[in-house]
Amino acid sequence: MPDVAVVDVDERVISTLYAAGRGQSLADLATRHSGFADAVGEGDVLEITLWEAAPAVLFGGALNSVGSGSAQTVSLPPQIVDTRGRVSVPFLGDVAVSGKTPDRIRREIVGRLKKMANQPQAMVRVAQNNSSNVTVIRAGRSIRMPLTGHRERVLDAVAAVGGTDSGVQDISVQLTRGGIVRTAALETVTAEAGQNIVLRPGDVLTLLSKPLSFTALGALGRNQQVQFSAKGMNLGEAIGVVGGLQDRRSNPEGVFVFRYQPVSALPKGEQDKWLGKGYASEMEVPTVYRVNLLDANSLFWMQRFSMRDKDIVYVSNAPVAELQKFLQFVFSPIVSSVNSINDLGN
């Protein structure tokens, strides 16, 4: 028999599981910094135009064109931000632009030109955004969505990829940012403004349409596989949707949930046991959560026990039910024989 971690559900266990479930929220990835979408980055293409009031001192050569009021205008060729985060501007040499907004770059160029040009002015525009993008993945389609000063959010990315290919209730949104991965139901993102967070360059947004389900077995109203929405379902709802416990057969002390769980998610005592066997904290082990419905607190615990995809809910038979099954097995042949003799006599 393989080793299995058996965990009796109590307030401490439920608090740990509930906190882990809330850790899947997108809201904790929200950031107060809002200027990253405007910042110029490596690979971006900039268009820089310079003006100098007459009489032009610096830009009075043949390459210049005459603007309004006889101001001299110079439109530089498109500048690609190099790997050092710089572009080249005549008379200024290399100008560091990476991480700066176009307005800040404009002000820095004007500030440096004032020492050598007559009332210089500048305009800086991002002609091609190659650094501030979000990758959006959906079954059958993927895009790179450029970020702008509009502060695009999660639902903007969903719309940009063409929406969903099934009902909102069946879709989960997975956001990968650096080494952090968070998953939330699309239904939750649409209902809670705090989940519809501002995206950042380099984010990867994936729309998952895999249906979620659990299997109900044992002394329940129905033994079957049940699908549930991406928004989730708690243990109380799961037992209710299959008809609840059978009054005469079920053992209320024996409600079990079977799943694979990372060692790090187990109670401290169970963690030490598995770590002592050579398991790493991120490895998953077969885990059984046992709920005793005779404890009144369990009714509240079940409301905070979130079901997961491929969970198995099992309710054991009561000892009385096992005795009844034994008596039926022992006495049913005798009863059948008596009935047969009576039939022959008739």
- DSSP-based three-state secondary structure for 224: strand
Using CA atoms, how far residue 191 sits from 155, 185, 188, 234, in Å, is 11, 10, 5, 19
Looking at this protein, which amino acid is placed at residue 96? A
How many Cβ atoms from other residues are within 10 Å of residue 74's Cβ? 20
The closest alpha carbon to 127, from 48, 212, 207, 211, belongs to: 48
Using CA atoms, how far residue 278 sits from 255, 263, 269, in Å, is 30, 11, 15
Q: Where are the beta strands (DSSP E) in the chain?
A: 5-8, 45-52, 65-66, 72-75, 79-80, 86-89, 93-96, 121-128, 133-138, 141-146, 172-177, 180-185, 204-208, 212-218, 224-228, 250-262, 284-291, 311-317
Cβ(197)–Cβ(153) below 8 Å:
yes
What pLDDT was estimated at residue 37?
66
The closest alpha carbon to 220, from 337, 151, 89, 312, belongs to: 312
Per-residue b or e along 51-66, where b marks 16 or more CB atoms closer than 10 Å to that residue's CB? bbbeebebbeeeebee
Give percent of the chain with pLDDT exceeding 70. Answer: 85
Per-residue pLDDT reduced to its tens digit, 147-176: 887 889 999 999 999 988 777 888 999 999
The closest alpha carbon to 36, from 157, 132, 150, 155, belongs to: 132
- DSSP secondary structure letter of residue 295: S
What pLDDT was estimated at residue 222?
94
Higher-confidence position of 345 and 293: 293
Distance separating alpha carbons of residues 41 and 80, to the nearest angstrom: 10
Of the pLDDT bands very low, low, confident and very high (cuts 50, 70, 90), residue 266 is confident
What pLDDT was estimated at residue 207?
93
Can you spell out the DSSP letters for 141-185?
A: EEEEEEP-TT--BHHHHHHHTT--SS-GGG-EEEEEETTEEEEEE
- DSSP-based three-state secondary structure for 64: coil
Structural domains of the chain, with CATH: 5-22+211-323 (3.10.560.10), 45-128 (3.30.1950.10), 132-208 (3.10.560.10)
Distance separating alpha carbons of residues 203 and 286, to the nearest angstrom: 33
**Any idea of the CA torsion for 108, 110, 115, 116, to the nearest 10 degrees?**
130
Radius of gyration from C-alpha coordinates of the chain: 33
**Integer distance in angstroms from the first to the last C-alpha of the chain?**
54
Residue 81 reports pLDDT greater than 90:
yes
Higher-confidence position of 290 and 1: 290
What pLDDT was estimated at residue 330?
54
Of the pLDDT bands very low, low, confident and very high (cuts 50, 70, 90), residue 84 is very high
The closest alpha carbon to 118, from 59, 62, 66, belongs to: 59
pTM: 0.66
At 161, list the tokens.
């990829």
Place of tokens 């965990």: 7
Higher-confidence position of 34 and 311: 311
Average model confidence (pLDDT) across the chain: 84
Higher-confidence position of 72 and 305: 305
